Amino acid sequence: MAAITLSIDIGGSKIKACTLNKSGKILQEYTKVPTPQPANSKNVLTSIKSW
Q: What are the residues whose beta carbons fall under 8 Å from the beta carbon of 33, sequence distance 6 or more?
A: 14, 15, 47, 48, 50, 51
In this structure, what CATH number is given to the domain that contains residue 19?
A: 3.30.420.40
Measured CA to CA, the distance from residue 4 to residue 7 in angstroms comes to 10
Q: Total structural domains in the chain?
A: 1
**pTM reported for the whole predicted model:** 0.78
Which domain covers residue 35, as residue numbers? 4-49
pLDDT digits (tens, 9 = 90+) for 4-50: 999 999 999 999 999 999 999 999 989 999 999 999 999 999 999 98
